[in-house]
Every structure is written in structure tokens, then in C-alpha cells.
Amino acid sequence: SQQGEEDPQALSIQEGENATMNCSYKTSINNLQWYRQNSGRGLVHLILIRSNEREKHSGRLRVTLDTSKKSSSLLITASRAADTASYFCATDEGRGSTLGRLYFGRGTQLTVWP
């Protein structure tokens, strides 16, 4: 099994700035997902990118995937105080036509100051 590793561990920015978080993983994947967690709450799915995709957008979120480097990045544009949360990347190793369980990294704690 393998886990994603996020970088940086913590990120502190002002409202309106962009936030970029990176994720590296070790083995081949079926897809990579990003989740958000507000303090002490459940995780919420943000975006999924398949292994044959290179970039995906959803609102203010932009995710890239480089399978040759085994890395992904999550960009949040024009950040808001409400974006303050922990962000996790999760890899799905899925074999063949089945999806496996997700392995999560340790997360990036994003703080957006008003």
C-alpha cells in the first residue's frame, strides 16, 4: 500500500491570495482525490482526477496530475477565510476494473486570514 504525502504541512495566507498544495505518492494509481476537513469534522470530497487526466477544474479549484513524477497539486484561487481547513490527497490504487480503498496523506493545514 502507499500513501500520498502533502506539502507543505501548513500554509498561511491572506484572503484573496492563491493557495497551492502538493501531493506525492509512490506507486501507480487509478485515480487521485482531494478532500477537505474542517476541524474535528468529517472529510468532504473536493475533486477527483483520473490517472489519464492531467488537469481538472472545479470552481476555484484546479488540480493537476503528473503520473511520471507521481505528484499532484491542488490550487485554490482567490482564497477566502472560509477555506481554512485541512486538505488531504488520497490515492486509489484500484486493480483492473475494481476500485480499491483510498489511502490518505497527512494533510496540509491551510489558514486564510481575513
Partner 1 sequence: DSGVTQTPKHLITATGQRVTLRCSPRSGDLSVYWYQQSLDQGLQFLIQYYNGEERAKGNILERFSAQQFPDLHSELNLSSLELGDSALYFCASSRGILALSSSNTGELFFGEGSRLTVL
Contact residues toward partner 1 (CB under 8 A) are: 1, 3, 31, 33, 35, 40-45, 48, 50, 88, 90, 92, 97-107
CB of 103 to partner 1, least distance (A): 6
Query: Among candidates 18, 28, 90, which has minimal Cα distance to 60?
Result: 18
Question: Cα(11)–Cα(25) distance, rounded to whole angstroms?
Answer: 20
Beta bridge partners of 71: 24, 66
- Alpha-carbon Rg of the chain, whole angstroms? 14
Shortest spacing between CB 84 and partner 1, in angstroms: 18
Residue 44 or 78 with smaller CB distance to partner 1: 44
Q: What's the min distance (Å) between Cβ of 60 and partner 1?
A: 18
